[in-house]
Structure 1
Amino acid sequence: MRLIEKVWFYRHPAKWALVPLLLPLTALFWLITSLRRFLYRCGVKSSTSPALPVMVIGNIGIGGNGKTPLTLYLIEQCERLGIKVGIISRGYGGKAPHYPYLINEYSTAAQAGDEPQMIFDRSGVPIAVGSDRIASIALLAEQGCQLVLADDGLQHYKMKRNAEVIVVDGKRKFGNGLLLPAGPLREGKWRLSSVDFIVVNGKSEADTGAAHKPSSSQENNVQNADDFSGLTTPVLAMDLAPSQFINLATGEAIGVDEFIEINSTVNAIAAIGDPARFFTTLEQCKLTLNKAQGFVDHHAFTAQELTELSASMPLVMTEKDAVKCQAFAQENWWYLAVNATFEVTDAELLHQQLKRLVSTC
């Protein structure tokens, strides 16, 4: 974990030196973003109505909150409801031959970005990537889509939207509550009251009593259970359930219990917003981690840096990382597929929202 993240999310001693230095930049960030929102509200900058109804799935902080698992869950629900859904994404980390770019069976993570490619590989629904989200939505309309899920884009006020969902990491929540760069937030917590749903991904270690305790430099998450008190916005609880391990080279899929019987000790990598969350999930699956190495989010892996980790034992990674390693995968490389789950009452609220979006637009 980077030092700045320890300062943002945990009571690291370096906060006393770093935060005061960064506060002037945070004030400038607040001024610029506030002015931008004001210009959109008063009509100086115009927002465009897209060709299809849009539900934005975003966050007010840095990544790693669980937007992609929620997107996959909503895709499944749309299919059950008979709604033809499409996805738009900025395609971070990808370099497509043109934009907007419609992902196809020959696309790669290097072209589309790791998260859009992962969603396409899992779901097969139409996905358009590019910075011009309005153009991407128009492209999806040509594919016959009825509804668009925007993977991120909460702060993209140029695009009008019909519904907004904020995803919050239940473990890290909002860190020290400050805006970038002194804190992890892109918008203040006031934004929580303006959306349709808040989805909390998992619980904090204090809530779960998890055995995997933070190190001395990570004592006590800064936030507490009062983060959502007083809000009228519905707060839905989401959990990520491990489903199966899938071999990158062969495509073989085996259940979690069967995998552990064969491979009780593994090496693990993760290039996501919070690698520790993935490693904790593996430990909760009763796997012993010989070595767990985190990388920065969207890290572009090479065969050379992973070969050593898989020389003596299986290497396990996230599904998002797997799409970047498929081309040079070895036979003892696996990824863990996880599925988002909700309580019945919370799931029904999301179902009703999806149906309303299609029926009223």
Structure 2
Amino acid sequence: MAWLIIMSDLISWQKKLCPALWPISLLYGLGMRLRSTYWAHSTHTWNPPIPCISVGNISWGGTGKTPFCQYLLKLSLKYNLRPVILTRGYKASPPVYPHLVQVNDDPKTCGDEPLLLAASHAQAKVVVDPNRTRAGKWAIANLDPDLFILDDGFQHQKLHRHLNLVLFSPNDFLIHWNKVIPAGPWREPKTALNRADIFLINTWNRDRQTLATYVARKLTPFNKPIFYFRICPRALINLNTQTRHPHLNNEPYILVTGIANPKKVLSTITHFLGYPPKNHLFFPDHHHFEKKDFEHILQLAHNDKIKHIVCTTKDALKLKKFTYPHLLALEIEVQFDTEDEQRFEQILLKKISRQD
């Protein structure tokens, strides 16, 4: 809870101090433009011999990159491709780089999101290395891939990509448009969007028609395809028995989150079950849950006479070691409208087959 308060205070202070922070943002943005220009003309970039799709954003987290990488894994396997995800592995500490993620890895070794990606599709390979050029060359030599998926790759310009996907949240258009660090959460100014090939809007279940008005006003000048998607819950999975539950029979539950956008998870689970949790415990993004954390969660559950504890699939990787019989993970998936999904697939397949 303290972490959420800190983040809320940070956003609040950014709004209050925006005029004072704006000159620093201009300097930061200039630095990022110069960096982009350097890599665009550098001879030190690597152009891989297979198609490479970058999944990234222009702001801090919360746009759905990990679920979208899962979607791309599923899509590539549908077309009999052998995908390899290249990721830096935030907070990972493997014994050696590059590190090929194994489904029985400790999240502290490979990072929680790489482990989630590896566990979600057994045929896919996930390679952790801050130096993604090194990781890519190692994968070519050892894994025989057909396709690279570059996780959180929009700002990683050392490696050439054949398709640049940029994901947005509604707040990128409604609140944060072109507000660059430190005045806002954007990593680069809006001119960076010229590097994108496709824009993908995570609607967060907002009304698409209303949101589309703001999106069109901001993105139409870039003349790139725009698609809308949402992240939808599928079921609650018991981490001990792997049983799938479509509901909890209106029984109370505690929600535990250690992700960048806990409020979105709260909204999703409330909508899915039809009622909110009795309590929502916030932890920092990528939090490594320790015994004392889980004891605190259990104590709150005991005090309120609640048996069900619900978490995200990312947090489940770190909580399942406590073998609590009523620990449930919320399974989610990316969904497009049918015609949008077909058009997106067509553009994607055409682009990576040409490799231009």
> Separation in 2 of the partners of 1:321 and 1:290?
19
The change in CA–CA distance for 1:196 and 1:2 in structure 2 (over 3 A counts) is farther
What is the CA-CA distance between 1:358 and the residue it aligns to? Answer: 4.8
> Separation in 2 of the partners of 1:357 and 1:349?
12
Give the structure 2 partner of residue 26 of structure 1: 25
Give the structure 2 partner of residue 284 of structure 1: 271
What is the CA-CA distance between 1:47 and the residue it aligns to? Answer: 1.7
SS in 1 for 2:62: coil
SS in 1 for 2:254: strand
User: Structure 1: which amino acid aligns with 2:156?
Assistant: H
Give the structure 1 partner of residue 53 of structure 2: 55
Give the structure 1 partner of residue 315 of structure 2: 321
Q: Which moved more, 1:306-315 or 1:62-71?
A: 306-315
Does structure 2 retain, via aligned residues, the 8 Å contact 1:170–1:204? no
SS in 1 for 2:218: helix
Matches within 5 A, 1:5-84: 5=8, 8=11, 12=12, 14-15=13-14, 17-43=16-42, 46-84=44-82
SS in 2 for 1:340: strand
List runs of 5+ in structure 1 lacking aligned partners. Answer: 210-220
Alignment pair present for 1:293 and 2:292: no
User: Structure 2: which amino acid aligns with 1:67?
Assistant: K
> Separation in 2 of the partners of 1:203 and 1:51?
36
Give the structure 2 partner of residue 137 of structure 1: 136
User: Structure 2: which amino acid aligns with 1:253?
Assistant: R
Give me the TM-score of the superposition, normalised by structure 2. Answer: 0.87
What is the CA-CA distance between 1:111 and the residue it aligns to? Answer: 0.9
Q: Could you tell me which of 245, 254, 263 is aligned with 2:236? A: 245
> Separation in 1 of the partners of 2:253 and 2:222?
43
Give me the TM-score of the superposition, normalised by structure 1. Answer: 0.86
The change in CA–CA distance for 1:264 and 1:164 in structure 2 (over 3 A counts) is same
The change in CA–CA distance for 1:38 and 1:360 in structure 2 (over 3 A counts) is closer
The change in CA–CA distance for 1:282 and 1:96 in structure 2 (over 3 A counts) is same
> Separation in 1 of the partners of 2:297 and 2:172?
28
Does structure 1 retain, via aligned residues, the 8 Å contact 2:46–2:159? yes
Give the structure 1 partner of residue 332 of structure 2: 338
What is the CA-CA distance between 1:309 and the residue it aligns to? Answer: 2.4
Does structure 1 retain, via aligned residues, the 8 Å contact 2:51–2:353? no
What is the CA-CA distance between 1:22 and the residue it aligns to? Answer: 3.1
Task: Count residues in correspondence.
Answer: 340
Does structure 2 retain, via aligned residues, the 8 Å contact 1:175–1:184? no
Does structure 1 retain, via aligned residues, the 8 Å contact 2:15–2:183? no
Give the structure 2 partner of residue 213 of structure 1: none
User: Structure 1: which amino acid aligns with 2:353?
Assistant: S
What is the CA-CA distance between 1:176 and the residue it aligns to? Answer: 2.9
What is the CA-CA distance between 1:303 and the residue it aligns to? Answer: 2.6
What is the CA-CA distance between 1:62 and the residue it aligns to? Answer: 0.2
> Separation in 1 of the partners of 2:111 and 2:128?
9
Give the structure 2 partner of residue 215 of structure 1: none
| Deviation string, structure 1 residues 6-60 (Cα, Å, up to 9, x no partner) | 664xxx4x456432443343233223212212222343x6322124221000000
More helix by share: 2
